[in-house]
Structure 1
Amino acid sequence: MKNFDIDKIRADFPILKRQVNGKPLIYLDNGATTQKPSKVIDAIVSYYSDMNSNIHRGVHYLSQISTDAFEVARRKVQSFINASHEYEVIITNGTTHSINLVASCYGKAFVHAGDEIVISAMEHHSNIVPWQMLCEEKGAKLKVIPMDEQGVLDIEVYKELLSDRTKIVSITYVSNALGTINPVKEIIRLAHERNVPVLLDAAQAVQHLKIDVQELDVDFLAFSGHKMYGPTGVGVLYGKEKWLNAMPPYQGGGDMIKEVTFEKTTYNELPLKFEAGTPNIEAGICLANAIDYIEEIGLDQIKAYEDELLNYATTRLAEVEGIKFIGTSGQKSSVISFVIEGVHPYDVGVILDKLGIAVRTGHHCAQPVMDQFRISGTVRASLAMYNTKEEVDSLVDGVKRAVNMLK
């Protein structure tokens, strides 16, 4: 690929040089969290060494430069997802926080007894449980878009689920357990025909696909920094201005207020209305460095490389006796989930770990997905831009070795 230098990219990630159990680390658990380039690690050290201070509140120099850096990061996110206004970008502590914020605040303002909320059969627990809690509180009903055995949503059933009682659709852009890329633009269009807002869980999408919230016309978008080569403990909620203004605050405290008396509190303007208390300042600032890193390489380049790697890995793993892939949509991101007949996924994961290969096993916080496929869990290899075909070859060899040992 023209400008994609895999050796240079791998050199940017210090952890890839380490060994695990005496073997070179092969890290294939990127769906859980990605590793961090030196650009991000150095920025974290620089923050604590050079500017550590609280933000938005102090008149002294360190507070001002920290505040400026934090707001630069907000504008960086705005540009990255093409939001109309920087105040439509709310800094949270991750995707789970962002979804819970919308479920709580939007639900408080707009959801009532007898209303309906639509999600899909492939959601992460973080996009199921908050809506279940809201439905229990409000007496609303949760409707679920089914999927087929390839892990593809049934859009015809989705159309039937949408009704005058539907208050919001909340759906994953990319399945963390299957890798399916959902037709989110069509999902949004159909919801908007009924004036229903849509939230996209983009935790597994934003590091792989170019996202333009205006082009999608999405109402809410949630994602996490740690899955896109940034720090843990920081995330983003994008919301259209009209919805954010119509929603009550999520939490009370510092920064989200304009004026407080014992009789009444006046809330702050966007985005601070939803940012109570001291945020994870260092992570918020360093999220900008992660975005810079992604943009320097280019999401188009990243996607093309990861697609090539996904195809190679799928072909090679198909050699394994008794393997069954879980999630075989024609539109996939760089996730491969599989089971092997007669072998427990956990046992495969343990043997791979002894070989220095990090994969994820279990239900991946998507138990309803596993229930549909009538399995307890899968082995999941999730790929990133720093993985290689040689690492895939080692994974295949490791899985074959595990099968020979366990069957």
Structure 2
Amino acid sequence: MNASIREQFPILNQEINGHPLVYLDSAATSQKPRAVIDAVKHYYEWENANVHRGVHTLGSRATDAYEGAREKLARFINAKSTEEIIFTRGTTTAINLVASSYARSVCGPGDEIVLTEMEHHSNLIPWQQAAIAVGATLKYIPLQPDGTITLEDVEKTVTPNTKVVAIGYVSNVMGVVHPVKEIAEIAHRNGAVISVDGAQSTPHMKIDVQDLDCDFYALSGHKMCAPTGIGALYGKKALLEQMEPIEFGGEMINDVGLYESNWKDLPWKFEGGTPIIAGAVGLGAAIDFLQDVGMDEIERHESRLAAYAMNRLAELDGFKLYGPAVREVGLITFNLGDVHPHDVATVLDAQGVAIRAGHHCCQPLMRWLKVSSTARASFYLYNTEEDVDRLISALIQTKEYFGDAT
């Protein structure tokens, strides 16, 4: 990746605890390029107004910027139309919308919702609550020893009683890339829909929801260079049309009476209240930025970086990797001997290296791994081999600091 890419992220040009910052926590949230920061700043300085309502110039500018971002996102993931793009606060809100509106309306006693044990809590708890509310059954596709799943096990788990298959495209712990297109075919053959958690996939690879044939796809802007607080739900139009809103108020209505009301057409019936306008503007700018770099190039860069990191990490005694030995994405979860992951992260932070430590919002997966927590280094388009070398050097110093504990 060209060094000029890194220079476009101003936050990286600083020292932490006397050391140049190495940011390896992009799976939690990505950093923001100057183009996105400037786009949000420009909106607040020149276009700040509420959308859809006013006929004045600022209102028109704000509406054009907001709806323009929806058009960019629709093209970015290859939705058929902007009607299929619902702006939300992020992946969590998008999944909750599907689980609360769609699943609770189609599922009942005897019906099944199929997941995996590696799902992020945001793609687990909403389905738990939906199942509890309607008396449906949760089923889990078995995990292989390396954290992958097989299509044979998907075939065995998904049945004609299955109404929803909910799965993350990329695991935020194991770095596994699931065969979503093939899983979608199995789901559809059994009369189920598939809901994809795209939080960890959308920033890192080219997404084509029509090719995947997924019914729902949720994403977060803050993991793909956009501001926090903005995300989206893609849904096939026919499914979205049959769903009821779960938030009610201004802007999502068509006509309001004293005793009943009806809703606007898609996508606005799901966007009650003043939307996250500046966030959408930032998301549109982030999409422009990522497309200028090239999603294929980002994917290749991360793959090369992950391979380099895996080779360097293999040099460390006491290094325990979780997930497959070969990585398609730049995400590596590990433990270092008996040193607690929080201690590893603390010592690394003292050397300017930022990683994540904890259960990563995947407590069922931690229990499956028989650990309480892990450390995680995650890479993005602005990371370099030098960042990996700094990580290795810091881990070596951590081993030395804790001595026999490793």
Pick the TM interval, shorter chain: over 0.9
Contact 1:152 1:329 in 2 (8 A): no
State whether structure 2 residue 244 is matched by structure 1 residue 248.
yes
**Paired residue for 1:352?**
348
**Paired residue for 2:190?**
194
The answer for unaligned runs of 5 or more in structure 2 is none
Q: With structure 2 as the length reference, what TM-score do the two structures score?
A: 0.98
**Paired residue for 2:267?**
271
State whether structure 2 residue 24 is matched by structure 1 residue 28.
yes
Give the Cα–Cα distance (whole angstroms) in 2 for the partners of residues 45 and 387 of structure 1: 26
Report deviation, 1:332.
Answer: 3.0
Give the Cα–Cα distance (whole angstroms) in 2 for the partners of residues 347 and 263 of structure 1: 58
Contact 1:338 1:379 in 2 (8 A): yes
- Which residues of 2 match residues 213-362 of structure 1 at below 5 A? 213-328=209-324, 330=326, 332-362=328-358
Query: Which AA in structure 2 matches 1:170?
Result: A
Q: Secondary structure at the match of 1:227?
A: coil
The alignment yields a C-alpha RMSD, in angstroms, of 0.9
Give the 3 Å change call, closer, same or farther, for CA 273–329 of structure 1 in structure 2: farther
Contact 1:109 1:246 in 2 (8 A): no
Query: Which AA in structure 2 matches 1:205?
Result: S
Query: Which AA in structure 2 matches 1:11?
Result: E
Q: Secondary structure at the match of 1:118?
A: strand
Give the 3 Å change call, closer, same or farther, for CA 46–383 of structure 1 in structure 2: same
Query: Deviation digits for residues 233-264 of structure 1, max 9, x if unmatched?
Result: 00010000010001111211111110001121
- Which residues of 2 match residues 5-404 of structure 1 at below 5 A? 5=2, 7-328=3-324, 330=326, 332-404=328-400
Moved over 6 A (4+): none
Query: Deviation digits for residues 66-114 of structure 1, max 9, x if unmatched?
Result: 0011000000000000100111000000000000000000023211122
The answer for unaligned runs of 5 or more in structure 1 is none
Give the Cα–Cα distance (whole angstroms) in 2 for the partners of residues 331 and 320 of structure 1: 18
Give the Cα–Cα distance (whole angstroms) in 2 for the partners of residues 294 and 271 of structure 1: 25
Query: Deviation digits for residues 8-66 of structure 1, max 9, x if unmatched?
Result: 00110000101111111100000000000000000111011001111111111111110
How many residue pairs align between the two structures?
Answer: 403
Query: Which AA in structure 2 matches 1:238?
Result: Y
Report deviation, 1:155.
Answer: 2.4
Q: With structure 1 as the length reference, what TM-score do the two structures score?
A: 0.98
Contact 1:149 1:373 in 2 (8 A): no
Report deviation, 1:329.
Answer: 5.4
Q: Secondary structure at the match of 2:222?
A: helix
Give the Cα–Cα distance (whole angstroms) in 1 for the partners of residues 123 and 9 of structure 2: 31
Contact 2:160 2:191 in 1 (8 A): no
Give the 3 Å change call, closer, same or farther, for CA 327–217 of structure 1 in structure 2: same
Report deviation, 1:330.
Answer: 4.0
